[in-house]
Structure 1
Amino acid sequence: MTWRMPAETAPHTCTWMAWPSSGYADGDDAREAWAAVALTVAEFEPVRMVVDPAAVKDARDWLGGAVEYFAAPLDDAWMRDIGPTFVVGPAGLGAVDWVFNGWGGQSWATWEKDARIARQVAEWAGATVIGSEMVNEGGGIHVDGHGAVLVTETVQLDPGRNPGWTRARVEGELRRTLGVREVVWLPRGLTRDYGEFGTRGHVDIVATLTAPETVLLHVQPDPRHPDHAVTAQIRDALPANWTVVDLPGPEGLVDERGPVDHSYVNHLVCNAGVVACTFDDPRDAAALDVLAAAYPGRRVIGVDARAIFARGGGIHCITQQEPAIPGGLS
């Protein structure tokens, strides 16, 4: 059977999230940020929230009846990475169950519970499970829905994830599971993403495909930031015939742990909307304007994502879209 991952801009049945109640995503500031994202997404489409059984009351206190609740044990709350990657095919909805090992076996991560979430979400969604032997996360891929996928050498070829795997083997697995034809390898991700709490190079913080052969690229204009050189290197790796739209990062360059990876690229496209990261930064408004131009006809809403980024991710990282199936098979 041929499966295909639709573009994020295709219609959604819903967005899946996980409620932060333990692990690195714990904390009241995290719950406030996750709740703000969920309530904003719910303005555009249904939100299905996976909640650890011990935290159901807490989640309801924050979210009330704005979302639908599904109880399952959780280690953390990064649904993009622990949840399934949804695809579509002749039989309806499919769900790729990548191997999840805590972003390459990070010393701070636990993942025994999270590694089971993809299949559980697939069951709730009524999706056919597509197993995979490849360690991968949803934040490590971006597709255009027309045959192209963006990946980074430091994620899929990470020895902590897929020791001994070659580019050819990774590409073959992406073709089998996502239905892609063209795999575009970027050399790396942003600098902060290689720190203690990083993913070692997720693509969804540096570039996204807004249309066929059109990439929205995080750029760091300030040469004092190490990502100034990194984003230039990533630009050079993109196909020469593609259209590249620059999305400059915020003016704020550092926090208490060093150079930040604050990025407006890490947004979620919803039905008729875009939920975007903001940082109480002078460049927020201009970034929202770029996103509005990139997604014409959609309403762009900014949500303060600083508490999410402080934990190693952004809005895209805590959400996972479930595509709508023509004819209502999902």
Structure 2
Amino acid sequence: MPHHDILATPKDLGFTFPAEWFPHRATWLTFPHNEASWQGDKLAKMRPQYFEFIKQISAGEHVGFIANDKNLKQYIIKELNKINVDLSKIEFLIKPTNDAWCRDHGPSFVINKETGQKMIVDWGHNAWGGKYPPYDDDNRTPKAVAVYLNLPIIEPGIIMEGGAVEFNGAGSLLTSKSCLLNLNRNPHLNQQQIEQVLCDFYGIEQILWVEGGIVGDDTDGHIDDTTRFINEDTVVACVESNQSDENFEILNTNLKMLKEMRLTNGKQLNIIELPMPKAVIIDGFRTPGSYANFLICNAGVIVPVFNNPNDQTAINILETAFPNRKVIPLLATEIIWGQGSFHCLSQQEPLI
């Protein structure tokens, strides 16, 4: 096993990865500066939408920026001032970065609810199977955050991305076979070995598997574009009603698998079906537009919308699904060109 040299895992020590609706101290983001994800003028175009996202998060918690250098920090401060963001809510960690997808390369925070301790799990990051080198600066991010926050850190020694896993906060983890079992991640491990590492380092009891992900998603099928826990026994699951759409079959397969799942207490999942947007095509490229790539934060649920015929239907469904939280729809029409949205860009730090 990859962690044979670790004497005690987070699970052994009573740590677990809390659900996203657990109160946050902060949300961490790696500020986008590299044109590899948003080429040409697209980086400048996505930034107003990105800053609006920051503004909404900062209404309820701190925002931690991982910024490539001091000049970028000054630029961020200037832009946040323009839109009246409370700078006392903003923190900066200056370190070299490669890309913006903090969900995948950022720190994974596990907590011990009994002792009030917090720890960072430092999963390996290889840019979704080596697709976008270089990624070594991003791979060093969890360690830098641990130093900044003065938190203990532990390395499982395998490749893992935050967008590949969903948690119900009660012992269950939901993921997709197309991503975590892909040979470009951990070819030396089988499904059972991967499950063991996930249970040990996230402090959970069971792994639930759906099949795959949506068209345009270059991560090999991250769960945060298709299926999300919204409470201990409920998921929202993306569905495609148009049978000739490329996403129809895979989302239908996932839905069937979800219906057969049982939680640790033997219960079936409550499944709320969430429509896909009508294909979000930019410059002839089909992006992985999905209403499921929302972020649950202290201020509410920030949902990507796309000036799309299905936007309002999705908002209505999510407002019903989250009766005690404000649903905050934000345009992600420019952000989505980078093949991810609000959840992919952010990683929450629990408050404990």
Normalised by the size of structure 1, how large is the TM-score?
Answer: 0.92
C-alpha distance in structure 2 between counterparts of 1:322 and 1:137, whole Å? 16
Alignment of 1:14-93 (within 5 A): 14-26=26-38, 27-53=43-69, 54-64=71-81, 65=87, 67-89=90-112, 90=115, 92-93=117-118
State the aligned residue count: 320
Identity among equivalent positions (%) equals 28
How far has the Cα of 1:256 moved from its partner? 3.2
Deviation of the 1:91 alpha carbon: 5.8
| Distance in 2 between residues matched to 1:293 and 1:46, nearest whole Å | 27
**Runs of 4+ deviating beyond 4 Å:** none
Deviation digits for residues 296-324 of structure 1 (CA, Å, limit 9, x no counterpart): 21111111112221111010000111011
- Give the Cα–Cα distance (whole angstroms) in 1 for the partners of residues 280 and 342 of structure 2: 19
Any gaps of 5 or more consecutive residues in structure 1?
A: 326-330
For residues 218 and 128 of structure 1, the distance between their equivalents in structure 2, rounded to whole angstroms, comes to 37
Q: Is the 8 A contact 1:51 1:69 kept in 2?
A: yes
From 104, 119, 125, the counterpart of 1:100: 125
C-alpha deviation, 1:119, in angstroms: 1.1
SS of the aligned residue for 2:60 comes to coil
Match of 2:248 among 198, 215, 228: 228
In the alignment, structure 1 residue 295 sits paired with structure 2 residue 322: yes
Distance 2:214 2:133 in 1: 20
User: In the aligned structure 2, how far is the partner of 1:93 from the partner of 1:78?
Assistant: 22
Which of 238, 241, 265 is residue 258 of structure 2 equivalent to? 238
Counterparts of 1:142 and 1:126, CA distance in 2: 26
Q: Of 298, 314, 321, which aligns to 1:271? A: 298
| 2:144 is the counterpart of 1:120 | yes
In 1, are the aligned partners of 2:300 and 2:326 still within 8 Å (CA)? yes
Equivalents in 1 of 2:117, 2:320: separation in Å? 32
Q: Over the residues paired in the alignment, what is the CA RMSD in angstroms?
A: 1.6
Map Cα deviations across residues 94-131 of structure 1 (whole Å, 9 max, x no partner): 1111000111100x332011110011112223322121
The match for 1:312 is: 339
**1:200 to partner: Cα distance:** 0.9
- Maintained 8 Å contact 1:19/1:34: no
Report how far residue 133 of structure 1 moved. Answer: 1.2
CA radius of gyration, larger in: 2
TM-score calculated relative to the size of structure 2: 0.87
Which residue type is aligned with residue 305 of structure 1? A
1:151 maps to a residue whose letter is T
> Aligned partner of 2:127: which letter?
G
Return 5+ residue gaps in structure 2 as ranges: 1-12, 82-86, 261-267
SS at match of 1:288: helix
Query: By how many angstroms is 1:273 displaced?
Result: 0.7
Amino acid in the other structure paired with 1:125: L
Offset of 1:145 from its aligned partner?
Answer: 0.4
Aligned mates of 2:30, 2:285 — CA distance in 1: 28
SS of equivalent residue, structure 1 residue 281? coil
AA aligned opposite 1:85:
S
